[in-house]
Chain A
Amino acid sequence: MEPILKINNLQTHFFTKAGILKAVDGVSFEIAAGEIVGLVGESGSGKSITGFSVMGLVDPPGKIIDGNINFKGKDLSALSNDQMQNIRGNRIAMIFQDPMMTLNPVLRIETQMIEAIQAHDGSISREDARIRSRDTLGLVGISSPDERLRAYPHQFSGGMRQRVSIAIAMLNRPDLIIADEPTTALDVTIQGQVISEMQKLCRETQTALLWITHDLAVVAGIADRVCVMYAGRIVEQGLVADIIANPMHPYTQGLMGSVPSQNQRGKPLQQIDGMVPSMLNLPVGCAFQNRCNYANEKCSNIQPDITQVADGRQVRCFNIPVGQRL
């Protein structure tokens, strides 16, 4: 099946006073209809900028300088602003960590939802748009949606606001949703509610979902496939189950070892020593070399390419630790 989204060698750089910052440096991945792909990495690794690039939301000094973003057969990076505007919120929707990025504080929920529908469908009546809004609120688990439609965002709790912004993302039945840390600010029980709604949506409407997060455990629970990012590049990608069972990149291994849980009690957590290097000043060679137990001379001279190591599995490392190799 043709993927809904196919990103190839995306390069999004920021031309800052201090130098060129390669926020996204050669990222490639695909998402099929109904598929959930996790994009994991620590802060500053380029996750959000990858999402913004697809949405056409990268502002100067940032610029997509190479690669293509193929959405249902069309190259998005070649589209005009107007054409992109039409796709945004209609065929592709984004959910942000802070729902107030989507919601307007001074308008009733109803007004915002009806406008979002009518903006992309001139022929729908206000009443029909209202009914669809109400039903979509119900779909994300908001009780008495008729009443809630009349409310303003501040009358909702954080979790409810996030569900409203998810409802807005779903309104026009997009083919692709990009969710950027949508549950990071939410409490565990509310996070469970939101994840459950998103899973249902993808299953029932075949929406493709890119789920951006720093939390590997969340991705493990929701995604089919995962891309692990480090310093602007994907270092490993594959099926979630495969990566959890057998992480191959030293960074992925370190990340998994450092997730605390009851299994690790009494033992020190495996820690990744050192820090992420500055994105303005990446070393020659592998960006992970200063924290890697397997680094050798080659790693500090040559940048490793991402290579296919098995069906659907890619890793960017010269020395995949013995024992992890397939």
Chain B
Amino acid sequence: MKPILKVQNLSKDFIKSLDLVAKGLNRIGQNYKEEVVHAVDDVNFSIFKGEIVGVVGESGCGKSTLGRMVAGILSPSTGSVEFDSSQANNKEIPSALRTQMIFQDPFSSLNPRKRVVDIITEAPIYHKLIPPSEKRAFATEMLQRVGLDPDTLERYPHQFSGGQRQRVGIARALAVSPEFLVCDESIAALDVSIQAQIINLFVDLKDKFDLTYLFISHDIGVIEHISDRVIVMYLGRIVETAPIETFVKQPNHPYTQALLTGVPRLEVGKRQYEPISGEIPSPLSPPTGCHFHPRCNFATARCKAEKPALRKIAPAHFSACHLNDEA
């Protein structure tokens, strides 16, 4: 089977330019250099049609940067993101619309001066997917798809609750018949009882419209519930990718293991927390070799010196850890 999305050697560097103080000091003979963040560092993976692939990792590890490149709204420094058009459900849709992104804060991504009916129909009318005369009927249908009352057609974004606004954002994305949704912390800002509503909606839509997802979340419970496969990132690199059952039951990478032990779980109840030590290092000066070595209980001299490659350790299971060489 061919993947619908293929990401190869994808990297993004951000240059943190000098602030005024540093520039001033350089003028009097200091030598401050511009710093480079490897936000995403040579990442490779594939996604198959109909999959929900979760991305987890701690703050600053590059999840959003990766998501934005996959959605085509940020250009990579190097590498490529390829979409296999032959597998598209709807071949007439312009390729630029095939991937849509759904953000954490629906408020900042919706134009506050536009009514919902216009927010939803703007792109499809512009791209001539629907005639302007069908605007209201079309918007009504989209609102119903995401579980909103069509009475809300004439409202502005601020007249909705957080959960409803997220539904408007999803309706807008669905309006261009996308194949692929990149969800970046799309439920993080919502109340617990509303999160469940939106998670259920994402799953329903996937089944109804044959969608494929890249689902970014720092919440491992959410990832475990929704994903078929998981990508674990640490400081710009993928350290492990695994089918969900393997991720939960037999995580291979020491970082994934640490992450999973830290997750609070209802069913476990009261327990003694045994934390992994150390801070998340600065992405500006990541540790040498394996980025995780200063916090890893199994680190050896080799881990400090040599970057472990992401290698296949079982079908569909990849991990980047030197320990796998010894076995």
Residues in chain A near residue B208, CB distance under 8 A: none
Give the interface centre of B199, B219, B273 by most chain A CB atoms within 10 Å.
B273
Given the known interface contacts A195-B273, A268-B200, the answer about A42 and B193 at a Cβ–Cβ threshold of 8 Å is yes
Between A and B, how many residue pairs show CB distances below 8 Å? 151
Contact between chains at A192 and B224 (CB < 8 Å): no
Residues facing B in A100-159 (CB within 8 A) are 141, 157-159
Q: Is residue B218 contacting chain A, with contact meaning CB distance below 8 A?
A: yes
Contact A217 B273 (CB under 8 A): no
Q: Within the assembled complex, what's the spacing in Å between the Cα atoms of A42 and B196?
A: 13
Given known pairs A187-B280, A244-B269, the reply for A275 and B264 (CB within 8 Å) is no
Q: Is the CB of B270 within 8 A of A258?
A: no
Residues of A within 8 A of B295 (CB): 189
- Chain B residues, CB < 8 A from A254: 193
- A215, A222, A262, A276 pick with most chain B CB within 10 angstroms: A262
Q: Does B279 contact A (CB under 8 A)?
A: yes
A-B contact pairs, 26 of them (CB 8 A): A189-B262, A189-B275, A189-B276, A189-B280, A189-B295, A191-B262, A192-B261, A195-B275, A217-B266, A220-B264, A221-B268, A222-B264, A241-B269, A244-B266, A244-B269, A254-B193, A258-B195, A260-B195, A260-B196, A260-B199, A260-B222, A268-B200, A269-B225, A273-B197, A275-B161, A275-B164
B97 within 8 A of A: no
The CA of A101 and the CA of B59, in the complex, are separated in Å by 21
Interface string of B253-291 (1 = CB under 8 A from A): 000001101111111111111111101101000000000
In terms of DSSP, what is the predominant structure of the interface of chain A? helix
The reply to whether the CB of A199 lies closer than 8 angstroms to some CB of chain B is yes
A301 within 8 A of B: no
**B191 in contact (CB, < 8 A):** yes
Which 3 pairs show the lowest CB-CB distances between chains A and B? A258-B196, A260-B225, A192-B262
CB distance from A215 to the nearest CB of B (A): 7
Contact of A217 among B191, B259, B265, B277 (CB under 8 A): B265
Nearest-CB distance from A115 to chain B (Å)? 26
A43 at the interface (CB under 8 A from B): yes
In the bound complex, do residue B270 and residue A241 qualify as a contact, i.e. CB atoms below 8 Å apart? yes
Q: Determine if B258 and A189 form an interchain contact, defined as CB atoms under 8 angstroms apart.
A: yes
Give the contacting residue for B275; candidates A42, A196, A222, A276; CB below 8 A: A196
Q: CB of B314 within 8 A of chain A?
A: no
In angstroms, Cα B274 to Cα A310, docked, is: 34
Interface presence of A255 (CB below 8 A): yes
- Cross-chain contact of B273 among A199, A214, A244, A276 (Cβ < 8 A): A199
Q: Considering only CB atoms, which chain B residue lies closest to A272 in the complex?
A: B193
Chain A neighbourhood of B150, CB < 8 A: none
Nearest-Cβ distance from residue B32 to partner chain A, whole angstroms = 17
B266 touches A193 (CB 8 A): no
- State in angstroms the CA–CA spacing of A112 and B227 once bound together: 46
Is B248 engaged at the interface, CB distance under 8 Å to the other chain? yes
A254 to B194, CA, bound (A): 11
Q: Which residues of B contact A190 (CB under 8 A)?
A: 58, 279-280
A246: interface (CB < 8 Å): no
In the assembled complex, the CB of A18 is this many whole angstroms from the nearest CB of chain B, namely 16
Chain B residues closer than 8 Å to A276, beta-carbon distance: 191, 193
Do B193 and A216 have beta carbons less than 8 Å apart?
no
- B262 smallest CB distance to A (angstroms): 4
Taking Cβ atoms with an 8 Å cutoff, the residues of A that contact B are 42-43, 141, 157-160, 187-193, 195-196, 199, 214-218, 220-224, 240-241, 244, 254-265, 268-273, 275-276, 291
Chain B CB count within 10 A is highest, among A191, A214, A259, for A259
**A269–B224 CB distance below 8 A:** no
B205 at interface, CB cutoff 8 A: no
B254 to chain A, nearest CB (A): 12
Are A221 and B271 closer than 8 Å at their CB atoms? Answer: yes
Whether A240 touches B274, Cβ cut-off 8 Å, given contacts A216-B192, A220-B264, A275-B163, is no
Let me know if B226 is at the binding interface, CB within 8 A. yes
A221-B273, A271-B200, A275-B163 are contacts. A188–B193 as well, Cβ < 8 Å? Answer: no
A235 to B220, CA, bound (A): 28
Write out the residue numbers on chain A whose beta carbons fall within 8 Å of the beta carbon of B194. Answer: 275
Complex CA–CA separation, A256 to B195 (angstroms): 12
Contacts of B279 in A (CB 8 A): 157, 159-160, 190
Q: How far is the CA of A265 from the CA of B243 in the complex (A)?
A: 13
Separation of A43 and B192 alpha carbons in the complex (Å): 9
Which residues of A are found within 8 Å of B218, using beta-carbon distances? 187-188
Interface string of B196-217 (1 = CB under 8 A from A): 1101100110000000000000
A157 touches B264 (CB 8 A): no
Tell me the complex Cα distance, A260–B225, Å: 6
A188 touches B259 (CB 8 A): yes
A312–B69 Cα gap in the complex (Å)?
A: 54
Identify the closest chain B residue to A224 (Cβ).
B270
Instruction: Verify B196–A263 contact, CB threshold 8 A.
Output: no
Residues on B with beta carbons closer than 8 Å to the beta carbon of A275:
161, 163-164, 194
Residue in chain B with minimal CB distance to A45: B191
With A and B bound together, what is the CA distance between A216 and B270 in angstroms? 12
A43 vs B218: C-alpha distance in the bound complex, in angstroms? 19
- Residues of the A chain whose Cβ atoms lie less than 8 Å from the Cβ of B220: 188
CB–CB A220/B269 < 8 A: yes
Known: A192-B275, A269-B200. A258 touches B269 (CB 8 A): no
Q: In the complex, how many angstroms separate the beta carbon of B149 from the nearest chain A beta carbon?
A: 12
Query: Is B270 in contact with A221, judged by CB distance below 8 angstroms?
Result: yes
Across-interface contacts of B195 in A (CB, < 8 A): 258, 260
